Structure 1
Amino acid sequence: MTGFFHETAFYGSDDDFLALVVPFLEDGLRAGEVVVAACAERNAGLLRGAVGGDVLFLPGADQYSRPSDSISTYRELFREHTDAGARHMRVVGDVPHPGTGASWDWWARYEAAVNQAYAEFPVWGLCPYDTRTTPADVLADVVSTHPNIAVGPEVHEANPGFRDGLAGTRQVTDALEHRAPLIDLVDVTAGAVREAVGSAIGGIALSEDGAHDVVYAASEIVTNGLTHGVAPVRFRLWADESRVLVAVTDQGSGPADPLVGLMPTTATRSAGLGLWILHRTCDYVSMGQDSDGFTVRVSVGGQT
């Protein structure tokens, strides 16, 4: 195997899950491959009771609060094993989605991004999704982001529904957006936004780091919109007692590269490294087209 073989599968019962995943793992063990299971607690328990051999059990992606953290962790793991001489690896992993209580946008971008992020490693990655809990729009994104699909136990096919690039997931309006924004500005400078945000969030129960993250995020995404977007660029901020949401909208199409924000890059001054920092520090970041244009939303504090 050379490069990353990215595959999905769908199951509707615990027995179906085991029928798909156990042969996948056991075939890897028999071949002497590095075999990893990174599933949520329930599925990990099923696998521990069904698979013999030296499987490396890791926390599922639901234990990583941010997909950028997950990418960084997996790349370190893959590099460690390939540097140690591993020629092939297999990984089965659950990916968070609204059916498991997670916001989907940045995990949809994760599923698209890993086709590039893991491309240098000899890894077969299987992402099984439970049709009992996974919403239909998420399943559609899953199909579009996986080049391969397991249609049955040990039956692996090229996925005709795969589309290279970003997932087609729609932006979801945050609950705070039902309120009037505390700040609503058009085509202001990043400096003016930093000043306005600093004044607006003074009474909100944020940690010192959280307050810094809000100001940094506001400045960064405004700079990004002014530098790479299409005018007019609109900045808005909402807040409740413990959480702040900022949104920046421009009239451009936004970046087409699914890696933007999920891996560090110095290819551009703003659209790469700055957005990656946001993805590593803020509680939630969504990016995509909505009814107003291309919008970046960043949430800090409270519950997202």
Structure 2
Amino acid sequence: MAHRVFRVASGVVTGFFHETAFYGSDDDFLALVVPFLEDGLRAGEAVVAACAERNTGLLRGALGRDITYLPGADQYSRPSESIATYRALFAEGTEGGARGMRVVGDVPHPGMGASWDWWARYEAAVNRAYAEFPVWGLCPYDTRTTPAEVLDDVVRTHPNIAAAPGRHEANPGFREGPARARQVADPLEQGPPLVDLVDVTARAARDAVSAAVAGTALSEDGVLDVVYAASEMVSNGLTHGVAPVRFRVWADSSRVVVAVTDQGPGPADPVVGLMPTTDTRTAGLGLWILHRTCDYVSMGRDADGFTVRASVAGQT
């Protein structure tokens, strides 16, 4: 299907226009976002807001008409889920004849109580994941609550920036490729691992993690998820990484963390794990399933090597 065309201030644009903006008050948020959405309505575009509860309330009070509101907590539960849901929404809109679409969304970060690593990868991945759609996506970040290192990643991953209300500019801080992968150890890793093996087989990893989680509050589905995660992570390390491959497991009564470390550079593709792939030469399909089932997945490299971590929580 040919790309539809929509307009921004700088001219005609096809494909995904990925923009960020920064604000420091509720008034600043409305000054940035309301004109953006109103311009879309006037242009006959489909307009979507997927914001946190507070910002949704602000927008409903200022607009409230002809806008599709998506619960931010649902839309941004996991990066892989967000991409799948948005791609379905964008396809439905463009195939239904929308002249273009505008979306504003609050991407989770530590200031909102969320881990950042996989959302940093999301912000880099969507430049390609949504490239086929005529969508203008605005990702506003609240400088009152967003950590400085997150703001650095935001600048790096957005090709465009709203420097002020109505001013849409190319972002000089944008860098192609994946966001900088940081190693973020889980708090459970402060204690000794229950399992610590090197160059273990996938089957042995499944057996080891099954034994380690026997005393936890994980549901049957949770056990299946963490066993699958262990098997897939070890298989990827042995197949795509560089030996030695180290496999570790930590657990308390309510949560399990699995980490696999190898000595390779890790995947260079920013969408690995966030979108499905049928290419059997890559780790993409298995990691995508991992991202859809685990509560959190991080990927990064430090002095110890490249590590994939996954955590699964028990029932509360």
Q: Distance in 2 between matches of 1:208 and 1:297?
A: 21
Mapped partners of 2:48, 2:218: distance in 1: 38
Which structure 2 residues correspond to residues 127-276 of structure 1 after superposition, within 5 A?
Answer: 127-268=139-280, 271-276=283-288
Preserved contact between residue 234 and residue 250 of structure 1 (Cα < 8 Å): yes
Q: Residue 11 of structure 2 corresponds to which residue in structure 1?
A: none
Structure 1 residue runs without a partner (length 5+): none
Percent of aligned positions that are identical: 81
Q: Is the 8 A contact 1:141 1:169 kept in 2?
A: no
Instruction: Report the residue type matching 1:156 in the other structure.
Output: H
Residue type matched to 1:163 in 2? R
- 2:21 is the alignment partner of 1:22: no
Q: CA deviation at 1:65?
A: 2.1
- Three-state SS of the structure 2 residue aligned to 1:232 is coil
8 Å Cα contact 1:138/1:169 also seen in 2: no
Give TM-score, length-normalised by structure 1: 0.97
Q: Cα distance, 1:291 vs. partner?
A: 2.9
Task: Report the count of equivalent residues.
Answer: 303
Alpha-carbon separation, structure 2, partners of 1:207 and 1:95: 29
Q: Residue 113 in 1 paired to residue 125 in 2?
A: yes
User: Structure 2: which 5+ runs fail to align?
Assistant: 1-5, 7-13
Partner of 1:283: 295
Task: Work out the CA distance in 2 between the residues paired with 1:254 and 1:193.
Answer: 20
The answer on whether the counterparts of 2:21 and 2:162 sit within 8 Å (CA) in structure 1 is yes
Name which of structure 1's ranges 50-59 and 96-105 shifts more when overlaid on structure 2. Answer: 50-59
| Contact 1:61–1:95 (8 Å) recurs in 2 | no
Quote the Cα distance in structure 1 between the aligned partners of 2:263 and 2:108: 30
Distance 2:73 2:138 in 1: 13
- Is the 1:137–1:169 Cα contact (8 Å) retained in structure 2? no
Provide the C-alpha distance between the structure 1 equivalents of 2:234 and 2:182, rounded to a whole number of angstroms.
22
Q: What is the CA distance between 1:262 and its match in structure 2?
A: 0.6
Q: Give the residue type in structure 2 aligned to 1:196.
A: A
Structure 1 residue 87 displacement after superposition: 2.3
- Please state whether the residue corresponding to 2:62 is helix, strand or coil: coil
